[in-house]
Amino acid sequence: MVSRKNARHRLAGAFAGVAVLALGLTACGGSGNTDAGGDADAGGDSGSGDLITVGFAQVGAESGWRAANTKSIQDTLTKENGFDLKFSDAQQKQENQIQAIRSYIAQGVDVIAFSPVVESGWDAVLEEAKAADIPVVLTDRAVDSEDESLYVSFLGSDFVVEGEKAGQWVVDEFGDEEINIVELQGTTGSAPANDRKAGFESAIEGHDNLKIIASQTGNFTRSEGKTVMEGFLQANPDIDLVYAHNDDMGLGAMEAIEAAGKVPGVDIKIVTVDAVKDGMQALADGKFNFIVECSPLLGPQLAEIVKQVVAGETPEKRIITEETTFTQEQAKEALPDRQY
């Protein structure tokens, strides 16, 4: 740890001019953009003693899942647990995340962690972190860089498998019945949107009775999910099932279906990914039909990875979170003890 930090601080000066950018990022983050480690301008070692300084660049606050993910990280990477957390909210903009990462490099943090808004376009800033000898941990989402040395570990779900689970439920549920499916995709270019789409399509491949008749991004938000679903309903009166890449878009679709005078979960089935409380309640109420879990509670695992890296150990390159699926009855059983 000592040699890494010394080498890093010799290089950090090269990025000092970037530090002023952190102020602009902090100002535009709103109430969701907090610096749990203290002053955003403070260097990685300033006043932190033996604390491990972690710079975390979050995607945004676009959904209940993301809010739970942020809370897990902020509740775990505390001073009481041995961490000095620098946190930023990118508001779903890649340029904001890159700006935040460069500010963390300038501050000379011990470890940088982030959940990429999209998969591509990270090599340059990750090369800068590597040159400054600051290890990077990916959480929740991957990058498509061919150089895996640019990050030490990727912690998160297998989004392809999530899509496959959703698609397999549709196959098992409907058999040879003719089903018109509309798809609410996540943010265009993001790993979960790409992979959940690919997994679902793979699962229903060869079942010609299952047709995706429309597919459009709702950016993982409830409001856009509702708007897109309204458009689907106007253009395609014979919709049998909605496949939403997250609960929030599914909840927006549910509202649009109800506004159109139809019954969600009955007239139009809804399959989603996440299993946050609002989604689980909709499932328990019969307004959703099936949910594939994607756990946001990554804070404890991230803390362990960071400790390993700082101790000079090598964590596993790919760490997959353990998750399940939920039917209506299973949702009813799980809801009383649900943490998110």
What's the one-letter identity of residue 198? Answer: A
Question: Six-digit token pair at 46?
Answer: 């300033």
Per CATH, 2-156+296-323 and 159-294 having the same topology is answered yes
Q: Given a cut of 80, is residue 27 above it in pLDDT?
A: no
How far the first Cα of the chain sits from its last, in Å, is: 35
pTM as predicted: 0.80
Least confident stretch, 21-25, 136-140, 253-257: 21-25
Q: Given this model, what pLDDT does residue 2 score?
A: 38
45 Cβ contact list (under 8 Å, min separation 6)? 5, 9, 53, 108
**Beta pairing, strands 325-326 & 290-293:** antiparallel
Topology, domain 159-294: Rossmann fold (3.40.50)
Q: Given a cut of 90, is residue 107 above it in pLDDT?
A: yes
Q: Given a cut of 90, is residue 7 above it in pLDDT?
A: no
Domain spans of the chain? 2-156+296-323, 159-294
Least confident stretch, 12-16, 81-85, 103-107, 185-189: 12-16
DSSP reduced 3-state for 99: helix
Q: Given a cut of 90, is residue 21 above it in pLDDT?
A: no
Question: Six-digit token pair at 93?
Answer: 């903009």
Q: Given this model, what pLDDT does residue 49 score?
A: 63
Q: Given this model, what pLDDT does residue 222 score?
A: 97
Q: Given this model, what pLDDT does residue 322 score?
A: 83
Give the residue-averaged pLDDT of 34-48.
38
**Segment holding 211, helix H or strand E:** strand 210-217
Q: Given a cut of 90, is residue 33 above it in pLDDT?
A: no
Axis crossing angle, helix 277-284 with helix 247-259, rounded to the nearest 10 = 50
Question: Six-digit token pair at 112?
Answer: 């940088």
Residue 268 is classified by DSSP as B
Q: Given a cut of 60, is residue 202 above it in pLDDT?
A: yes
Q: Where are the alpha helices (DSSP H) in the chain?
A: 2-12, 21-28, 64-76, 94-107, 123-131, 159-174, 191-204, 222-235, 247-259, 277-284, 299-310, 328-334
How far apart are alpha carbons 149 and 200 in whole angstroms? 30
The per-residue pLDDT of the chain, averaged, comes to 88
Q: Which of 252, 160, 199, 168 is nearest to 242 (CA)?
A: 252
Q: Given this model, what pLDDT does residue 57 score?
A: 98
How far apart are alpha carbons 230 and 122 in whole angstroms? 35
pLDDT digits (tens, 9 = 90+) for 128-174: 999 999 999 999 999 999 999 999 999 999 999 999 999 999 999 99
188 Cβ contact list (under 8 Å, min separation 6)? 118, 217
Identify any residues that bridge with 264 across adjacent strands, giving them in sequence order: 268
- For the structural domain made of 2-156+296-323, what CATH number should be given? 3.40.50.2300
Write the DSSP assignment of 130-190 as a string of letters.
HHTT--EEEESS----S-GGG-SEEEE--HHHHHHHHHHHHHHHHTT--EEEEEEE-STT-
At residue 44's C-alpha, the angle toward residues 100 and 190, to 5°, is 25
Q: Given this model, what pLDDT does residue 3 score?
A: 41
CB 119 within 8 A of CB 189: yes
CB 280 within 8 A of CB 269: no
pLDDT digits (tens, 9 = 90+) for 47-76: 456 999 999 999 999 898 999 999 999 999
Q: Given this model, what pLDDT does residue 230 score?
A: 98
Give the residue-averaged pLDDT of 308-319.
96
pLDDT band with cut points at 50, 70 and 90 for residue 16: very low
Q: Given a cut of 80, is residue 23 above it in pLDDT?
A: no
- Give burial (CB, 10 Å; 0-12/13-18/19+) of 285: middle
Q: Given this model, what pLDDT does residue 237 score?
A: 86
How far apart are alpha carbons 255 and 251 in whole angstroms? 6
Q: Given a cut of 90, is residue 25 above it in pLDDT?
A: no
How far apart are alpha carbons 316 and 309 in whole angstroms? 11
Comparison of pLDDT for 24 and 249, the residue scoring more = 249
Q: Given a cut of 60, is residue 19 above it in pLDDT?
A: no
Residues of the chain with pLDDT > 90: what percent? Answer: 82
Question: Six-digit token pair at 118?
Answer: 């999209």
Identify any residues that bridge with 270 across adjacent strands, giving them in sequence order: 242
Residues of the chain with pLDDT > 70: what percent? Answer: 86
How far apart are alpha carbons 269 and 282 in whole angstroms? 12
What's the one-letter identity of residue 128? Answer: E
- Which strands make up the sheet holding 83-89, listed edge to edge? 83-89, 52-58, 111-114, 136-139, 153-156, 318-320
Comparison of pLDDT for 130 and 29, the residue scoring more = 130
Q: Given a cut of 80, is residue 266 above it in pLDDT?
A: yes
